[in-house]
Amino acid sequence: MIDGRGWGSRILRIYLPVMGFLVLMLFPFYWMLIASIKPNRELYNAKIMPLIVYQPTLKHYYDLFADTNFLLWTYNTMLVAVITTAVSLVLGAMIAYPLARMNFPGAAIVAVGVAATYLVPQPLLFIPMADIINKLELGNTLSAVMLTYPTLLIPFCAWLLMGYFKSVPRELEEAARIDGASRFQAMWRVVLPLTVPGLLSAGIFAFTLAQNEFLYALIFLAKSEVRTVPVGAITELIRGDVFYWGQLMAAALLGSIPVAVIYSFFVDYYVAGLTAGSVKS
Amino acid sequence: MAVRPDLVARSAPVAVRPRLLHGALEREGAFSWIMLAPGVLFLLAFVAYPLFYGVWLSLQDRPVAKPGVFIGLGNFVTLAHDGVFWQVARNSFVYTIVTTVLKLLGGLAMALVINQHFRGRSLVRAFLLLPFIVPTILSTVAWMWIFDPTFSVINWVLVNTGVVSGGFSWLGNKTLAMVAIIIVNTWRGIPFYGITLLAGLQTISPELYEAAAIDGASIRQRFLYVTLPIIKPILIIVTMFSVIFTFSDFQIVYALTHGGPANATQVFVTYAFDLGMSGGQLGMGAAAALAMLPALAVMIVALTLYLRRQS
C-alpha cells in the first residue's frame, strides 16, 4: 500500500483519512459556529435539517454583550493569562537556568522537586487551596487566580526551558566569561538571546494553559464581575435547567478566538513546546 | 572539561576587584540559589504547603468556616464504607483506561497519516491540534449541544439514516453518559498524541525504511521493527502524561454530566468537588481527593524517574 503510486492509492491512504480526521476534529467547532448564528426557531426545531443555517442572525451575540458581563469576563481572562504567563516565564526561567547550566549542592533534589510539582495534579491541591485563599481573604478577587495559576505554569515553564538552556554550548558562555562578563551578563547577553524560541514556546503554551484553567476560577470567582470566560459561560448562561444555547455557543466561540489566533501565529513554537518534553534525545 | 574550573577561578579576580555581592554572584552555588529562591519559595508555599495541608485537612471533620476536629482516618473509613466511593473509583479507572487506549490508537493513526507527504500538510497539522488548544470548557459546551436529549445531531443522523427509530438520551442514560465523556476526552486527547508522535516519526531517517525494504520487510514488519522501537520512548512518556491528566480530569465531566446520572460518571475530582466545595465538607473532600494519590503516585514516580533517565 505504501509503495502504491497513482491517484487511487493516494486518495485511499492520504486524502480520505486526512479528511476523516479533519471532519472529526473540527465538527464541534462548526457546530458551535452555526448554533451561534441560528435563530431560536431553527435551534429548537427538531424537524428541520440541522446541519446548515437557513436564516443566520447575530442576535445571540447581541444578547451576549447586552445581557451578560462577557466583555468583562474576556478582559479578566486576558489580564490573568498575560500576567500569570509573564510571572511564570520569569520565575520558571530563573529555576531552569541554574538547573540546566550550573553545578551546585542540592541541584538534583530541586530538579526532581520541580518535575514532581509539574506532575502533581491540581485536584490534589484545590480543596486545601480554597481554605488558604479563604484565610487570606482573597475570595472573589483576581489575585486569587493570579496567585494559584503559576503553581501550574512555573513548573511547566521551568521544565521546558531546561532543555533549551542545556542546548547552548558551554564554550560560548566561557568565552564571554573570559572577556570579563559576570555570570548574570553571560546569561542575559549570551544564553537568553539564543533561547528566544524556547521562551516563546513556553510563553505561548503557558498562555493557553492559563486560558484553559477552570477549577480554581470556578472555586474562587463567585461574583460575575470577576469571572473568567469559561466560568462565566457555564455558570451564567446555564441557569438551573435553562440553557441559553445560542449565547452559550457565541460565548464559547468568542472565548476560543484569542487562543486560536495566537496559536495560529506561533503554531511551530507551540508544537515545539508540546513535543519538547517527550521528544528530547 | 577539567580545565574549566581553573579558567573561571583565575579569570574572575583578574577582571575587576569584586565587591562582596558581586563576588557571591560569581560563585556557582550562590548564583544558583539566588536565581532559584523566588520560584522555589513560591512552589513551596503554594504547592508543597497545600499538599501537606490537604493531608492534615483529610484527617479532620472540617465544615467550611468552622474549626476542624481531628478524627484520624475517620473520613477515609467513611468513604470506604460508602458504595458511591467505590463506584467513583471504578468510573475513574474505566474512564482513564478506555480513553487512553482510544487516544493511543487514534493518535498513532493520525500521526501515521500526517507523516506522509502531501500538500498543505502543515496547515492540516495546525487545524488538527485545535481541539487540544481551545479551552476545554468552551469546546465541551459544543459537545453538550451535540448530546442534547432533544436536539442531538447524532440522534438526528441516526434516525434519518434509519439506524434507529428514536434518539438516545445521551447524558440521561448511565452507560451512554460514560460513553459521552469518553468520546469528548478522546476527541480532545487524540491530537496531543497525534502531534507528539508525529514529531517522533519525523526523527526516523528514511534510509532505515529503505534498508528494511531492501531486506524484504513487509509494511507490517517495517512498522513493528523499525517504527515502533524508535518511537517507543515517546509513546511511553505521552501515555504516562495522558494517564495522569485523564485520571485527574475535572472539566469535561463537570461540564457534561456533573457526575450524573446517579453518579454513573462521577470520577475522583468531581466527587471531591461535590463533597468539599458544594457539600462544604472540606475534610471529606480532601480525603476523597487524596484517595486517588496511591494510583497517581505510582504514575508520577515512574514518569519522573523515566524522564530523568532519558535526560
Long-range contacts of B271-276 (CB under 8 A, 24+ apart): B271/B84, B271/B85, B271/B88, B272/A123, B272/A126, B272/A127, B273/A126, B273/A215, B276/A126, B276/A127, B276/A130
| Facing residue for B47 by CB, picked from A1, A107, A120 | A120
Q: Is the pLDDT of residue A1 over 60?
A: no
What CA–CA distances, in Å, run from B250 to A54, B245, B253?
37, 9, 6
Considering the domain architecture, whether residues B105 and B204 belong to the same structural domain is answered as yes
CB contact (8 A) between residue B35 and residue A94: yes
Looking at residue A154, its amino acid is: I
Q: Which residues contact B52 (CB under 8 A, 6 or more apart)?
A: none
Q: What's the domain range around B46? A: 18-58
Residue B36 counted as domain residue: yes
Q: Do both B23 and B112 map to the same domain?
A: no
The closest CB to that of A2, out of B11, B25, B219, belongs to B219
**Contact with chain A for residue B28, Cβ under 8 A:** yes
**Min Cα–Cα distance to chain B from A82, Å:** 15
Chain A residue with the nearest C-alpha to that of B300: A119
Tell which of B7, B26, B58 closes a domain.
Answer: B58
Q: How far is CA A29 from the centre of its chain?
A: 17
Distance between first and last Cα of chain A: 31
Residue A227 region, left (φ>0) first, then alpha (ψ -120 to 50), else beta?
A: beta
Series of mean pLDDT values for 10-residue runs along chain B (311 residues):
43 50 77 93 94 93 84 90 93 96 96 91 92 95 92 87 84 93 96 92 86 86 87 87 91 92 94 92 93 87 77 61
CA distance B103 to B110: 10
Spatial CA neighbour of A154 closest among A60, A86, A234, A68: A86
To the nearest whole Å, the CA of A226 is away from the closest chain B CA by 18
Is residue A24 very low, low, confident or very high in pLDDT (cuts 50, 70, 90)?
very high
Same domain, B95 and B137: yes
Predicted ipTM of the assembly: 0.91
d(CA B309, CA B311): 6
**Smallest CA–CA distance from A278 into chain B, residue:** B234
Domain termination residue (choose one: B5, B26, B58): B58
pTM: 0.90
The partner residue sitting opposite B289, judged by closest CB among A13, A32, A127, is A127
B122 and B211 share one domain: yes
Domain boundaries, chain A: 6-57, 61-276
**How many contacts (CB atoms, under 8 Å) link A and B?**
308
B51 & B195 share domain: no
Lowest-confidence segment of A20-24, A42-46, A127-131, A249-253 by average pLDDT: A42-46
Q: Are residues B52 and B78 in the same domain?
A: no
Interface probe, candidates A76, A124, A235, chain B, greatest B C-beta count within 10 A: A124
Q: What is the structure's pLDDT at A49? A: 83
Residue B60's DSSP bridge partners are B70
On whether any CB of chain A is under 8 Å from the CB of B45, the answer is: no
Does A175 reach chain B within 8 Å, measured CB to CB? no
Determine contact, residues B238/A278, Cβ cutoff 8 Å. Answer: yes
**Which are the contacts of A94, defined by CB distance < 8 A and separation ≥ 6?**
B35, B36, B38, B39
Does residue B40 lie in a domain region?
Answer: yes
Give tens-digit pLDDT for A246-265.
Answer: 999 999 999 999 999 999 89
Domain match, B250 and B288 both: yes
Contact at CB, B32 and A158, closer than 8 angstroms = no
> Is B249 among the domain residues?
yes
User: Does residue B24 belong to any structural domain of this protein?
Assistant: yes
- Structural domain contains residue B65: no
Q: Side chain identity at B113, as an amino acid letter? A: V
Contact A151 B151 (CB under 8 A): no
On whether the CB atoms of residues B242 and B252 are closer than 8 A, the answer is no
Cβ atoms of residues A232 and A73 within 8 Å: yes
Residue A37 CA to residue A23 CA, distance in Å, equals 20
Q: How confident is the model at residue A118 (pLDDT cuts 50, 70, 90)?
A: confident
B292 close to A (CB below 8 A): yes
- Report the distance separating Cα B271 and Cα B84, nearest Å: 9
CA-based nearest residue in chain B for residue A4: B219
Both B194 and B124 in one domain: the answer is yes
Q: Which three cell numbers stand for residue A202?
A: 513556553
Interface touch B142/A35, C-beta < 8 Å: yes
Whether the pLDDT of residue A98 is over 70: the answer is yes
A61-276 CATH: 1.10.3720.10
How far away is chain A from the Cα of B131, in angstroms, using its nearest Cα?
Answer: 7
Provide the 8-state DSSP code for B116: S
Put residue A10 in one of left, alpha, beta given phi > 0 → left and psi -120 to 50 → alpha. Answer: alpha
Angle at the Cα of B78 from the Cα atoms of B73 and B83, rounded to 5 degrees? 140
User: Are A128 and B286 an interchain contact pair (Cβ–Cβ within 8 Å)?
Assistant: yes
Residue B7, in any domain of the structure: no
Of A127, A177, A278, the CB nearest to B237: A278
Q: Tell whether B292 and B203 lie within a shared domain.
A: yes
Question: In this structure, what are the phi and psi dihedrals at residue B61, rounded to the nearest 5 degrees?
Answer: -90, 110
| C-beta atoms of B51 and A124 within 8 A | yes
Q: Could you give the angle at which helices A245-265 and A16-36 cross, rounded to 10 degrees?
A: 130
Give the E-state strand segments of B224-280 in sequence order: none
DSSP-derived pairing of the beta strands B60-61 and A242-243: unpaired
As a residue count, chain B comes to 311
- Same domain assignment for residues B197 and B294: yes
B58, B83, B110: which is the final residue of a domain? B58
Does residue B220 lie within any of the structural domains?
yes
Whether residues B137 and B238 fall in one domain: yes
Q: What is the CATH number of the domain that holds B274?
A: 1.10.3720.10
CA–CA gap between residue B196 and residue A64 (Å, rounded): 37
Q: Nearest by CB to B139, from A10, A28, A107: name it.
A: A28
